[in-house]
């Protein structure tokens, strides 16, 4: 009986040691994944800042004054003079 008890106690001790090693390993993996998550969040925040900067830049570059200036300089466009505008009116049609 003592041999059986000794084997049982040794088995339980081995189970406790393996469980402790498993807990330590799981805690280690948790810390690694948390650090990776923090890195990803920092990257996301940097991308959000860049996106907002680009949106502001787009809004500034697409103002009517800048578009008109670019059309005049690069494309040679101009606003039509009053005499160059032709107004076409639509006549009402009777439908049957």
Tell me the torsion sign for CA atoms 62, 63, 66, 70.
positive
The share of the chain scoring above pLDDT 90, in percent, equals 65
- CA distance to 1, 57, 63, 68, per residue, from 13 (Å): 18, 66, 75, 82
Q: Which two tokens stand for residue 49?
A: 């800042």
Count, residues in the chain: 96
Cβ-proximal residues to 77 (8 Å cutoff; 6+ apart), any chain: 71
Has residue 72 got a pLDDT over 70? Answer: yes
The share of the chain scoring above pLDDT 70, in percent, equals 97
8 Å CB contact between 85 and 78:
no
Report yes or no on whether pTM surpasses 0.75: no
Reported as a pLDDT band with limits 50, 70 and 90, residue 90 is confident
The average pLDDT across 13-22 equals 97
Give the range among 3-7, 22-26, 68-72 with minimum mean pLDDT. 68-72
């Amino acid at each position: 009986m003592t041999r059986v008890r000794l084997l049982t106690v040794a088995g339980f001790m081995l189970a406790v040691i393996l469980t402790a090693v498993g807990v330590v390993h799981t805690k280690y993996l948790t810390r690694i994944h948390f650090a990776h998550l923090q890195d990803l969040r920092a990257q996301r925040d940097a991308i959000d800042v860049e996106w907002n900067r680009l949106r502001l830049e787009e809004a500034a570059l697409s103002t009517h004054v800048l578009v008109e200036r670019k059309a005049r300089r690069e494309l040679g466009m101009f606003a039509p003079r009053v005499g160059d505008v032709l107004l076409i009116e639509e006549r009402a049609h009777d439908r049957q």
